[in-house]
Structures are given as structure tokens and as C-alpha cells.
């Protein structure tokens, strides 16, 4: 069982930056693919970014088109933590952001393919 705890959300003005963190329990963290998703009120949960298992898949990163070039996902396996650096933020980035872990190690943009989820952290971008 893996537990995920997000932190770093908050209120930021348009054009500003935030860094989200997701701390994971369990020694198998480094072999999991990790993803960030978000859900705005009245909308479905959508893919933001993902990073593969480092050893087998090289820690490759993937992004949704809406955040590419603005957001960066990274992981520190020694600290069992994955990060989402968000720059040049826009009001449409406002949502609850969720961290997720996938046992296979391969990244996916599909929420149903992830095995563990955090409780979410609110991000609000004011115009």
C-alpha cells in the first residue's frame, strides 16, 4: 500500500508560480510511475503531467498540451517525493491537483490506470 500526501497548493496571481509536492510512503516508490491530475468544479479529472520509473524507463516526462512549457514534473527518489513546478500560471489552471502512483512504472494520461491517489490540494489562480 502506498500513501500519497500533496502539499504546496494555495492562491497565486496570474503569471505567478507554485510548486506542489507529493510525499509517498513505501520503499517501492522509485519503481512507480507518478502523475499529476487536476479537477476543476463541474469538470472531469484531467491529466497534467507524468514521469516514469527512472531505472527502466529513464524518468521520461509527459505533459498535457495546456501546460507544456509552463509546468515541470520531477522526482527525488531518495526523498520519496514528486514535484510539480508551475510557472506562468493562468486562471484556467485553478483546480484541485491530485498526485497519483502507478505500479507498472510506465506513465499514463488515464486516471483509471493509476493505483494510488492523494487527497488533493487546492490551487487557485486569480486574474
Going residue by residue through the chain (127 aa), what tens digit of pLDDT does each one get?
889 999 999 999 999 999 999 999 977 788 899 999 999 999 999 999 999 987 777 889 999 999 999 999 999 988 999 999 999 999 999 999 999 999 988 999 999 999 999 999 999 999 9
Predicted local confidence at residue 119, as pLDDT: 97
Residue 55 DSSP code? H
Predicted local confidence at residue 26, as pLDDT: 73
Sign of torsion over alpha carbons 91, 93, 98, 99: negative
Q: In the structure grid, which three cell numbers stand for residue 66, read together?
A: 495546456
The whole-angstrom separation of Cα 38 and Cα 48 is 7
Predicted local confidence at residue 80, as pLDDT: 92
Residue in the block written with cell 487527497? 119
Say if CB 109 and CB 121 are below 8 A apart: no
Say if CB 45 and CB 39 are below 8 A apart: yes
In residues, how long is the chain?
127
Residue in the block written with cell 509517498? 24
Q: In the structure grid, which three cell numbers stand for residue 121, read together?
A: 490540494
Amino acid at each position: 500500500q502506498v500513501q500519497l500526501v500533496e502539499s504546496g497548493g494555495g492562491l497565486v496571481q496570474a503569471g505567478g508560480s507554485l510548486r506542489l509536492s507529493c510525499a509517498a510512503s513505501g520503499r517501492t516508490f522509485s519503481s512507480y510511475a507518478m502523475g499529476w491530475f487536476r479537477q476543476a468544479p463541474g469538470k472531469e479529472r484531467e491529466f497534467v503531467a507524468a514521469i516514469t520509473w527512472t531505472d527502466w524507463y529513464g524518468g521520461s516526462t509527459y505533459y498535457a498540451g495546456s501546460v507544456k512549457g509552463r509546468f515541470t514534473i520531477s522526482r527525488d527518489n531518495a526523498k520519496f517525493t514528486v514535484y510539480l513546478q508551475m510557472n506562468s500560471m493562468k486562471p484556467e489552471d485553478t483546480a484541485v491537483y491530485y498526485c497519483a502512483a502507478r505500479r507498472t512504472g510506465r506513465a499514463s494520461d488515464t486516471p483509471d490506470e493509476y493505483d494510488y491517489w492523494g487527497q488533493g490540494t487546492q490551487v487557485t489562480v486569480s486574474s
